[in-house]
Amino acid sequence: MQFCAFDILAEEGDDLRKLPLHLRKSNLGRLDAFLRTGRKGIFVNPFERGEIGPDLFRAASEMGLEGLVSKRRERSYVAGRCKYWIKVAAMEREL
């Protein structure tokens, strides 16, 4: 089993949901070393900028992954579906 952390909504009792995504990712990045220490299968998902989106999408499709989620870096966390977080389904490979 693997656990992939891709966002952090609270830290030491502080609610981080109102912070923009890029600041939450910074907070999560500080925990990366702690999460990896002595723990197998736990990792922090990297935060990639939009320029590599087409390459990431192609790689996700080639690996047979479900897809990608695109988020606006300046937006706060919103529970559920919203127009600022978009899931793009990967293309199925031809057999």
Gap between the Cα atoms of 83 and 92, Å rounded: 25
Question: Could you tell me what percent of the chain has a pLDDT over 90?
Answer: 17
CATH of domain 3-89: 3.30.470.30
pLDDT digits (tens, 9 = 90+) for 19-65: 999 899 888 888 777 766 666 777 777 777 767 878 888 888 898 88
Mean pLDDT of 66-75: 85
Beta strands of 16-61 (E only): which ranges?
A: 42-44
Residue 1's pLDDT band (cuts 50, 70, 90): confident
* Contacts for 17 with CB less than 8 Å, ≥ 6 apart: 9, 10, 76, 77
